[in-house]
Structure 1
Amino acid sequence: MRRKHLVGVGVVIFLTWNLLMYYMLVSKNPGKIGGVSVKDQLRNLQGDIERQLSHNSELLQQLQKLDEEIRRTTTPRPIRAEDTIIPILLIACDRTTVSRSLDLLIKYNPNKKRFPIIVSQDCGHKPTADVIQRYVGEYGIQHIKHPNTSEIPLPWPQKKFQGYYKLSRHYKWALNQVFHTFNYSAVIIVEDDLDISPDFYEYFSATFPVLHQDPSLWCVSAWNDNGKVGMVSEEADLLYRTDFFPGLGWMMERSMWIEIGPKWPEAFWDDWMRHPDQRKGRACIRPEICRTSTFGKKGVSKGLFYEKHLKFIKLNDKFVPFTKTDLSYLSKEKYDPYFAKLVDNTPEVSVAEAMSGRRSNMKALKILYSTKEEFKSTAKKLGIMDDFKAGVPRVAYKGVVSFMYKGQRIYLTPPPNWTGYDVKWS
């Protein structure tokens, strides 16, 4: 727009000057002017016009150079997703073992400027605060403290869930700090009881551009709910889309927080995230092998699932160079047709047949389920998580749950006429 404006001014000046000359030399004296014939006067005018054209050409070149200089100095360079600063937000409370999480976050951090570490502490627990402060001085992490550590007034039936209410309140405050006070455009959220893999940062670096460019995605998670030893393949580079919000080390953008932050729930924020009103048909990216594992046996969940499930989760120990890999296959337009064809072409068997090993020569097998009871029965037999959240089985995509059983890929799949998740399956 600036260039067009400058060129337009030059053209107007040129035309105005020519019109004035013509009016003065011709219109007022159609015969002779000062004894000079009109023919001679027009010849002189032609010379003047040629000189003016030359001058205008030089002026136009100068205006073009000025326009280029203005654009070079005032137009910001497009921001690449790969250059986005993504802080690590560590949610802490009263675990002095937060040092274990911090040690790994610092050890594997490839770029402190791109991945600054922010510890947000609730509870007002001084021993934990003292531990965190040591990292502030030595490693330059940022330590922020939730200003409201008061008890939340709850009716008697909900009092036992006080911890979940406080945790949700803390999350909302901390995320508001990241996005509205510090003005970051994305965040990776972890808690104070998580170990991370050597390629944790590499994984999120590579998947952020995919998340940023695909509106059908709303998060990237480091977690696989069925990621126990023996239930995942050795292919550490395998990534999937999932309709289930996994959490436990996850990334989202500010645009998503602007959408969900104002209606953030008072408690049970992770289950709230899994509801259709929040998910809106969007998916997350998740890995075959987890990039986080939890050592927090005790917490607000009172160790729920830890002894039977969480402590068996396999943490990836191989570095996968994801940033040197083309991850465009995770975009919805490419992934959906590929995944549908993959599942459709997989041989269908019964649960008993899959467990018998008679088809162990096949790379993958498919088991159908039509009801909630069928899914839960099959899941228990094969050892995967059998629960639903807002009707979505853990790790499912388009109703399909993918996992390994005795070294063989299994797709637990809804029938061909499946029309979507049923929120009553919870």
Structure 2
Amino acid sequence: MFIIAGLLEWRYYTASEQMDNSARRSAFSRSDLNSLYARSQSPPLDLGELHKSFRKAFPEPVNVSLSTGLVPHRATGQTALKRIAGDGSGKELTKYLEKTLSSLAELSGLDKVTVYISQDGQDMAVKDVIHKFEEGPLAPPKTRRFEHWQRERLPQLGHDQASMQTLIPGHAWLSQHYKWALDQAFLQKGHSHVIIVEDDMLFSPDFLHFFAATAVLLEQDPSLWCISTWNDNGLKTFDWDPMRMMRTSYFPGLGWMMRHELWLEIGPHWPKQSWDHWMRLNTTAKGRECVYPEVNRNYNIGEKGVNMNSQVFKQYLTQMSFNQELIMDYGDLSYLLEAEYEQQLVALSQDAELMSLPIGTRSLSQGKVYLALYTAESYPRTARKLGIWPFPRGHHHFVTKLPVKGAMLLLADQRFCPLLPEQHSMKPRKGLRAFPAAQHESCYAACRNQEMECNSHEFWFINSCEELSKHFPCEQGCAVELGNDVPNYV
């Protein structure tokens, strides 16, 4: 048993996922029924800047159609699947896996945890690598226990009638493998906490100690639902503190922990593909957040994979910070509890100097706090200046903290940040009304019938599962999509 503020049983899980040669490019669904937002007289929204930003971040061909009439689901970007040759993919994956297991074997505190390696499929090269570690570096007493699982891949592909989506091989296999392995860990093995990592990671020396120190937060604060070791904005160019942590409303994944109680809640509804996007839906997260470190405790080495291509890997992941210290004590973590965290953030923003966009980091003064207000339309340009992802990540209710050259920069969304004072907030205009169109009826035709006009500027306010559920039954839930017809009901 691993004792941390109570009796906890730990399980460590690494998913070894096989790529398939038939993996094809991702496409986004199109619907016949649009959700409309109407008001009188408003100019159309120019999404050219947003479109260019997605193209720069995801250069592989992607079926992304952005128009002035309808707005894509915010905070969403998807890459096309990479086609990897049979021999090359196997060698690449086993190389990643061997590096991951070697890094895992060096961790402090490994003897306190059980390690399960779950393999999807029957690839013998993958099995041979796992067997080598099973007999040596990861065998007890180095670990508390070690097991190798193999799932007979029975992919559910084609058109899924339940979700009305076409299941893409790579995304579907990965999501279905997660579901199977997490069921094994929580329901069959009965563990209370599970740490999930993937087969293309390196780990900081204090990786396990980080989870041990923060596990109690999941017990104390119901507004938290996971602990992650990944900072989406954790570039080496920022002044991060390896002792400090933050909260994020954007699910980070990549080396994360959850409790048994959470799996009982979300496991029965687990999607057949794109599980990470599903975790980021408000209808799944329900306002809950994750704790993550300022300095990353894992480092991604997977340049090729289901959700990765070389350009994105080099532009973002190779630039990430990576803690090299063995830290055993992180001090008092009560500042991460929701009430205290928000109180500190509000105080910071109230004392901050308002900064106009675009941001020029050369003008920042050490020791000062700056507040920069953005909208979804302006964020990609701001992000490009700072070198971060072109859609908000790592934010607490749409406030992102970035320590830059001795100063603190706060990025806040004028539409969606509830912590901003009234004078800085952007609200829906009076007279706005959301209503559904008839099947096959365009937004503009439906608005004309109501003697109103579509206002694409205001679509951001209804581009959420909560708003759509007010107008449509959403029998199978809500999903993240990109296209010139969203938000919509399909």
Q: Smaller-chain TM-score range?
A: 0.7 to 0.9
Count of residues paired in the alignment: 337
Pick 1 or 2: higher relative contact order, CA cutoff 8 A, min separation 6. Answer: 2
Q: Which letter does structure 2 place at the counterpart of 1:87?
A: R
**Farther-moved stretch of structure 1 (200-209 vs 406-415):** 406-415
Corresponding residue for 2:182?
175
C-alpha separation between the residues in 1 aligned to 2:108 and 2:168? 35
Do structure 1's residue 100 and structure 2's residue 99 form an aligned pair? yes
Do structure 1's residue 86 and structure 2's residue 10 form an aligned pair? yes
Corresponding residue for 1:282?
288
Are the aligned partners of 2:204 and 2:323 in contact in 1 as well (CA < 8 Å)?
yes
Structure 2 matches for 1:180-259, cutoff 5 A? 180-231=187-238, 233-259=239-265
Distance verdict in 2 for CA 1:144–1:237, change over 3 Å: same
Find the residue that maps to 1:108 and give its secondary structure: coil
Offset of 1:246 from its aligned partner?
0.3
Find the residue that maps to 1:247 and give its secondary structure: coil
Are the aligned partners of 1:379 and 1:386 in contact in 2 as well (CA < 8 Å)?
yes
Question: Which one of the candidate residues 330, 349, 353 is aligned to 2:336?
Answer: 330
C-alpha separation between the residues in 2 aligned to 1:350 and 1:226? 21
Are the aligned partners of 2:352 and 2:371 in contact in 1 as well (CA < 8 Å)?
yes
Corresponding residue for 1:384?
388
Q: Which letter does structure 2 place at the counterpart of 1:412?
A: L
Deviation sequence 1:161-201 (CA, Å, 0-9, x none): 21100000000000000001110001010000011111111
Structure 2 matches for 1:349-364, cutoff 5 A? 349-352=355-358, 354-355=359-360, 357-364=362-369
Distance verdict in 2 for CA 1:163–1:333, change over 3 Å: same
Find the residue that maps to 1:373 and give its secondary structure: coil
Do structure 1's residue 367 and structure 2's residue 372 form an aligned pair? yes
Structure 1 residue runs of 5 or longer lacking an equivalent are 1-78, 388-392
C-alpha separation between the residues in 1 aligned to 2:297 and 2:388? 19
C-alpha separation between the residues in 2 aligned to 1:245 and 1:355? 29
Structure 2 matches for 1:107-186, cutoff 5 A? 107-112=106-111, 114-138=112-136, 139-140=138-139, 141-147=146-152, 149-155=153-159, 161-186=168-193
Are the aligned partners of 1:198 and 1:319 in contact in 2 as well (CA < 8 Å)?
yes
Distance verdict in 2 for CA 1:111–1:358, change over 3 Å: closer
Are the aligned partners of 1:400 and 1:412 in contact in 2 as well (CA < 8 Å)?
yes
Q: Which has the larger radius of gyration?
A: 1
Are the aligned partners of 1:218 and 1:282 in contact in 2 as well (CA < 8 Å)?
yes
Find the residue that maps to 1:96 and give its secondary structure: helix
C-alpha separation between the residues in 2 aligned to 1:244 and 1:363? 26
Q: Which letter does structure 2 place at the counterpart of 1:91?
A: A
C-alpha separation between the residues in 1 aligned to 2:222 and 2:368? 33
Structure 2 residue runs of 5 or longer lacking an equivalent are 19-92, 140-145, 415-420, 428-459, 465-481, 483-490
C-alpha separation between the residues in 2 aligned to 1:275 and 1:341? 29
C-alpha separation between the residues in 2 aligned to 1:181 and 1:159? 31
C-alpha separation between the residues in 1 aligned to 2:251 and 2:379? 19
C-alpha separation between the residues in 1 aligned to 2:462 and 2:232? 20
Offset of 1:302 from its aligned partner?
4.3
C-alpha separation between the residues in 2 aligned to 1:276 and 1:358? 37
C-alpha separation between the residues in 2 aligned to 1:347 and 1:81? 41
Corresponding residue for 1:402?
401
Offset of 1:362 from its aligned partner?
3.9
Distance verdict in 2 for CA 1:396–1:422, change over 3 Å: farther
Offset of 1:288 from its aligned partner?
0.7
Are the aligned partners of 2:244 and 2:294 in contact in 1 as well (CA < 8 Å)?
yes
Question: Which one of the candidate residues 295, 299, 315 is aligned to 1:293?
Answer: 299
Are the aligned partners of 1:93 and 1:124 in contact in 2 as well (CA < 8 Å)?
no
**Farther-moved stretch of structure 1 (118-127 vs 402-411):** 402-411
Find the residue that maps to 2:158 and give its secondary structure: coil
C-alpha separation between the residues in 1 aligned to 2:116 and 2:9? 13
Q: Which letter does structure 1 place at the counterpart of 2:373?
A: L
C-alpha separation between the residues in 2 aligned to 1:278 and 1:208? 21
Corresponding residue for 2:349?
343
C-alpha separation between the residues in 2 aligned to 1:383 and 1:106? 33
Q: Which letter does structure 2 place at the counterpart of 1:143?
A: H
Are the aligned partners of 2:364 and 2:407 in contact in 1 as well (CA < 8 Å)?
no
Are the aligned partners of 1:82 and 1:205 in contact in 2 as well (CA < 8 Å)?
no
C-alpha separation between the residues in 1 aligned to 2:462 and 2:279? 14
C-alpha separation between the residues in 2 aligned to 1:182 and 1:336? 37
C-alpha separation between the residues in 2 aligned to 1:318 and 1:80? 21
C-alpha separation between the residues in 2 aligned to 1:91 and 1:269? 14
C-alpha separation between the residues in 2 aligned to 1:300 and 1:242? 24
Deviation sequence 1:30-59 (CA, Å, 0-9, x none): xxxxxxxxxxxxxxxxxxxxxxxxxxxxxx
Deviation sequence 1:244-299 (CA, Å, 0-9, x none): 10000000000000000000001000000000011101111011111111100111
Deviation sequence 1:90-119 (CA, Å, 0-9, x none): 00034213121112212113142x311110
Q: Which letter does structure 1 place at the counterpart of 2:113?
A: F
Find the residue that maps to 2:370 and give its secondary structure: strand
Q: Which letter does structure 2 place at the counterpart of 1:408?
A: A
Q: Which letter does structure 2 place at the counterpart of 1:331?
A: L
Distance verdict in 2 for CA 1:358–1:297, change over 3 Å: closer
Offset of 1:228 from its aligned partner?
1.6
Find the residue that maps to 1:167 and give its secondary structure: helix
C-alpha separation between the residues in 2 aligned to 1:374 and 1:191? 34
Root-mean-square deviation (CA, aligned residues, Å) is 2.4
Corresponding residue for 2:463?
424
Q: Which letter does structure 1 place at the counterpart of 2:383?
A: A
